[in-house]
Structure 1
Amino acid sequence: MSAMVLALAPLPLTTSGIRATIDAVPLWAWQLVLAAGILLSVGILYRIARPRGRWGQRLRSRFVLGLPWGTLLGLAFVVCVYLFVQGGWGNLRDPVSLPFQATSYAYPLGILTAGFAHLGWSHLFGNLWAGLVFGSIAEFAWSHYPTERGSESFSSWHRHPFVRIGIVFVTILLTGLVTAAFSWGPIIGFSGVTYAMAGFALVFYPITTLVALVGWSRLWHVYSAFVSPYSVAEAQVRYDTVGWASTAIQGHAFGFLLGVFVAALLLRRRRRTGHPERIWLAAVIYGIANGLWRVYWFLGGGQYVQFKAVGTALVLVLAGLIVAAVAGPDRSAVSRLATGDRSSDSPRRLAAASVLLAVLITMSMVGAMVNLAAPAGGGLPDDAVELKDYEIAYAENVTNQQIAVFDLPYLDQATQVRTSGVIVTSEKRHLWRVAISKRALEARGSGRVLVGGVGWRSSLWATRSGWSVVGGNSTYRVFFDPKDREKRLVHTSSPAVADLTLANRTIELRPASDAFEVAIKRDNRTVDKVAIPEDGATTTVDGVTVTRSGRDLYASIDGTSIRIANRQVPPTRR
């Protein structure tokens, strides 16, 4: 009994004691608590609502066996691409992504796979969940069974439930191909299709789509809470990228408009009407919540300019155009625009539908121009590392070939953006990509570049080491460490001069092939240099004693000592 009491005695109420107590709880115990909460909540709902089969009956009235089979088949296809094409089967959280991005019409593999491939597990799972939610609503609106009054299933081939399921699946595949083929620059991911699903669903069921918009992200929280039942957070300094600048906003907007337009055609065919105020509200909220207002451009050096007012105005105008084109008792404009029959068109609806179609065509034309003029690769330093058809190099202040695919009259400064970092190119795949920016490599100290193709993968580690001198300047070296090859130096920066004078001497730190050096200059002339000593060691150069203590470097002469430099160590490596 006493042993049991001792075993259950609480740890001291300290930070380490609380953390140890939490860590001692097994993962399954946390998950059991969450599962119990889910079952209790759903049980209360079921007890009070007492659906008596109404939910299942409602689903079965539109779905074969009550399931959105077309959407499920499309999501299964996406999973197969991730597992068997990208190599996710053996590397679930680390697939190959570079060769499966849409870069050029001259590289068909990228066009065919970009709409279904993903950067990683979280990217995949997020798109699968969004596709399931919005795809189910869209497929419910489409229905496996004919919805026209007096029509019967199996009465014709296009009323056959299995054919209608197949149409949904084929539409998903075609949408993925179209969004990749007309993308502005390299994209990857299923999100273009999920936005098309949401646009389609919004026209038919605007309020349901809004509820789904709020609900799917919150339900994602339930999944994350099950996988990671608790987390410990602390304040820290870290490097963070501009997240929205790496998101294919154009692809999202294109997919959304495509879904809206197809839904408008179907509405006209079924002679149905909608609620203008609901559709407008749903379009505005969905566009703002999903960042369709983020109109931006590149400034170079990791900076971007975002035009919030212009983007928000565009979302509001878009919502008005959607209402004008699809809401109201007469939607003949859309169908007549598609068929060429313009008799008795409402000028308002015809104009709105024409603008929407013109936007889609314009976006497609720009995407086609970009993919026709995609970079061919090359143009890297001579010390670039070759991994089959890829070349990887470190370069600074070079033109970003991904943006400058073609020149725009009077807009040279907008397209000739300079960039720095670890760059990956492939002439075969028409690829030019900044894999790790200069700032990211400086902040993190190292980063991996993963390349490959169907059935193979290879990787390379880039590492950066440097010193920051008094005055803020820094000097550094960049190494590449390819898999199964020797580590090699690929870049050395300019020397860094300390902003101080010691006994008429200027101190300069220089990167060399095998080590960093301390150089002494007088009258702008180098008089002597020596390698930076190891931690705790001391050396002398031109009468100046140089001492290293941890990450700090000191210089002393005639009894005067001062810190001259600090070793750059990223937070994750400290």
Structure 2
Amino acid sequence: MSAGVLVTLEPYRWLVVVASVLVSLLVLALVSGNESRTSGVRSRLLHGVPWGTALTVGFVASVYLFVQGGLAHPKQPLVIPFRSWSYYYPLGMVTAAFSHGSWSHLVGNLVGTVAYASIAEYAWGHYPRKRGAQTFSGWRTNPYARILAVPVVSIVVGLFTALFALGPVVGFSGVVFAYAGFAIVQRPVLATLAILGSQVLSLTFSAVTNPQSVASPTPRVVTPWWADIAIQGHAIGILAGILLAIALARSRDDWPEPRRVWFALVAFATFQGLWAMYLPADGGRYVLFRWAGVSVVFLLATVVVIAATRREDVAVPSLGSVHKTYALAFVVVLLASLSGSAVFYNVAPIDQQPGPDRTVEVRDYSVGYAEDIPEGYINAVSVPVIDYSPQVNTSGVIVTSPDRYIWRTAVGPARLENRGRVSVLVGGLSWRERVVVNRTGWTLAGNEEVYNVYLRPEGEDRTLGFSSAPATADPTIAGRNISIRPTDEQFEFVVSRRGETVGTAAVPANGTSVTAGGLTFRRDESRIFAIENETRVQIARRNGD
């Protein structure tokens, strides 16, 4: 396809994608003759539509648009106040499961909801399945009540995953994993197909909403993908879904084929990173226990297969009734143990943890920058039974609010150094405010660096939040050492000889020079040169704004 055609189609790129998908689906329907399949769906769902899934998607999207401010700021939602910080902060607990960290985060979870909740709703059905039961004979057989059961269960499971998540999580993924666990046990073949189907849905949606992008190689700081996964929240979600599916199978005496369940669970856990068990360490590092995670996935699949198989269908009698009970009890105990571990985090005295020394205040929030200080959220946790008191240090832009039990490293030092300027959003149900953080400094010859970090709330002057230690350049000129140290406003040279200071001067503006300690310093845009007679040496390079 020529470049001219591509340019001509530019205003209609999203329409081309939509038309291509619709034509493809139409041709597929005509070729396959799917009348029998459609009638099968209609026999279980009102008009063949998973209305409960649609209501759930609408509810979650509404939280993003209207509670988090996504309607006015689609790519900059307010996130910090809607995380599950503490039992003493009910707003976060209520909103965490239904809020999201970004537009892509929301889209990913809604795609997963469509893929797995639709299967779960199909298995549940809008019509009664028991022989002799009449539709509309009671609320349990009312299709509209059964439709509403889907969003109601979504809210209940969402609150459960928020109340018992390990750490200040945000997102609907715990509920998505619950639907996936339910689908894996009730309809393992469809669940396996949904793993691939969700990838197709995600790609198609991205092609419609972001038809074309331009990328260029730029340095950036990337956190390992597995370190951004709320692995414990996902685990309790899928376990809850599995138990609900087993309860439904038992009530209907309709059990799945074990090999299909095993494969669907292993495939889903592999694709969705349930094996990625990790722990945070000092200095923004994370430790991944891949061996343990993979082992747990296969052991969990083994236990679930035993628990979700009809006793009479077990080929080995010794794995029958007794072992099925043990397997089910193991899943229940595992869910209770993982959920209980979060209680210690959610009752921790986060409001008593100190933050950075220099901060700016935005209502009940404090925003500051610090390096190598105790991580207030993790270090507040104490498990008296096993005498566990973690000691982890952190660095970066830190947001605290004792009233909300918030203590968070919002931006790491490497990301701030790389970008030079970042924004941090704080707020509440009906307000939001931005704090701009600037990092400016100089890299001296020899790669030592000196810098200031400034904080500026909207509509206010900037405030110095942090100053690094002075740094000394490697070159020695005329027996003199040259250092740069930060001041409240900018930076200054310190010239020393044999350990004694022989002169100081402020770093000059672009295109000007200053003299200190017998040396002349000239600034040429982002570079500074030290000059002595005919000797001219670059001693520093500017970083940041």
SS of match in other structure, 1:315: helix
What amino acid is the match of 2:174? G
1:382 shift after superposition: 4.5
Counterpart check, 1:33 vs 2:16: yes
- Kindly tell me: are residues 210 and 275 of structure 1, through their superposed partners in 2, closer, same or farther at Cα, counting changes over 3 Å? same
1:108 shift after superposition: 0.9
Deviations 1:460-513 (A, max 9, x none): 100100111122210000111111111121111100111232221111011112
Q: Which residue of 1 aligns with 2:156?
A: 174
Q: Which one of 453, 460, 478 corresponds to residue 485 of structure 1?
A: 460
1:230 shift after superposition: 2.4
Deviations 1:182-230 (A, max 9, x none): 0111011111100000000010111211111111122211121122322
Q: Which residue of 2 aligns with 1:229?
A: 211
What amino acid is the match of 1:40? V
Q: Which residue of 2 aligns with 1:48?
A: 31
Q: Which residue of 2 aligns with 1:336?
A: none
CA contact (8 A) 2:353 2:380 kept: no
Counterpart check, 1:531 vs 2:513: no
Q: Which residue of 1 aligns with 2:177?
A: 195
1:537 shift after superposition: 2.4
Q: Which moved more, 1:67-76 or 1:376-385?
A: 376-385
Alignment length, in residue pairs? 540
CA contact (8 A) 1:268 1:331 kept: no
Q: Which residue of 2 aligns with 1:422?
A: 397
1:162 shift after superposition: 2.0
Q: Which residue of 1 aligns with 2:268?
A: 286
1:377 shift after superposition: 5.3
What amino acid is the match of 2:495? I
CA contact (8 A) 2:311 2:321 kept: no
- Kindly tell me: are residues 85 and 34 of structure 1, through their superposed partners in 2, closer, same or farther at Cα, counting changes over 3 Å? closer
SS of match in other structure, 2:368: strand
Q: Which residue of 1 aligns with 2:120?
A: 138
Q: Which residue of 1 aligns with 2:437?
A: 462
What amino acid is the match of 1:376? D
- Kindly tell me: are residues 374 and 356 of structure 1, through their superposed partners in 2, closer, same or farther at Cα, counting changes over 3 Å? farther
1:401 shift after superposition: 1.4
Q: Which residue of 1 aligns with 2:233?
A: 251
CA distance in 1, matches of 2:264, 2:24: 28
Q: Which residue of 1 aligns with 2:295?
A: 313
- Kindly tell me: are residues 501 and 331 of structure 1, through their superposed partners in 2, closer, same or farther at Cα, counting changes over 3 Å? farther
CA distance in 1, matches of 2:54, 2:19: 28
Percent identical among aligned pairs is: 39
Counterpart check, 1:165 vs 2:140: no
- Kindly tell me: are residues 301 and 22 of structure 1, through their superposed partners in 2, closer, same or farther at Cα, counting changes over 3 Å? farther
Q: Which residues of 2 match residues 55-66 of structure 1 at below 5 A? A: 55-66=37-48
CA distance in 2, matches of 1:350, 1:284: 22
SS of match in other structure, 1:471: coil
Deviations 1:157-202 (A, max 9, x none): 3222222222222111100000000011101111110000000001
Q: Which residues of 2 match residues 507-546 of structure 1 at below 5 A? A: 507-546=482-521
- Kindly tell me: are residues 330 and 478 of structure 1, through their superposed partners in 2, closer, same or farther at Cα, counting changes over 3 Å? farther
CA distance in 1, matches of 2:500, 2:40: 86
CA contact (8 A) 1:87 1:96 kept: yes
Q: Which residue of 2 aligns with 1:216?
A: 198
CA contact (8 A) 2:344 2:382 kept: no
4+ long deviations beyond 4 Å: 21-24, 408-414
What amino acid is the match of 2:330? V
CA contact (8 A) 2:353 2:376 kept: no
Q: Which one of 247, 253, 256 corresponds to residue 274 of structure 1?
A: 256
- Kindly tell me: are residues 521 and 301 of structure 1, through their superposed partners in 2, closer, same or farther at Cα, counting changes over 3 Å? same
Q: Which residue of 1 aligns with 2:309?
A: 327
What amino acid is the match of 1:367? A
Q: TM-score, with normalisation over the residues of structure 2? A: 0.94
CA distance in 2, matches of 1:139, 1:374: 41
- Kindly tell me: are residues 283 and 384 of structure 1, through their superposed partners in 2, closer, same or farther at Cα, counting changes over 3 Å? same
Q: Which one of 390, 394, 409 corresponds to residue 369 of structure 2?
A: 394
Counterpart check, 1:151 vs 2:163: no
CA contact (8 A) 1:533 1:547 kept: yes
- Aligned-CA RMSD value: 2.3
Q: TM-score, with normalisation over the residues of structure 1? A: 0.89
CA distance in 2, matches of 1:89, 1:567: 39
1:63 shift after superposition: 0.9
CA contact (8 A) 1:154 1:160 kept: yes
What amino acid is the match of 2:185? V
CA contact (8 A) 1:249 1:292 kept: yes
Q: Which one of 90, 109, 129 corresponds to residue 108 of structure 1?
A: 90
Deviations 1:329-372 (A, max 9, x none): 4599xxxxxxxxxxx98121111111111111111111122111
SS of match in other structure, 1:428: helix
Q: Which one of 439, 444, 447 corresponds to residue 414 of structure 2?
A: 439
CA distance in 1, matches of 2:313, 2:95: 36
- Kindly tell me: are residues 238 and 381 of structure 1, through their superposed partners in 2, closer, same or farther at Cα, counting changes over 3 Å? closer
Counterpart check, 1:69 vs 2:51: yes
SS of match in other structure, 2:376: coil
Q: Which sections of structure 1, spanning at least 5 residues, go unmatched?
A: 1-9, 11-17, 333-343
1:447 shift after superposition: 0.8
CA contact (8 A) 1:299 1:414 kept: no
Q: Which residue of 1 aligns with 2:479?
A: 504
1:260 shift after superposition: 0.5
SS of match in other structure, 2:379: coil
1:244 shift after superposition: 2.4
CA contact (8 A) 1:493 1:511 kept: yes
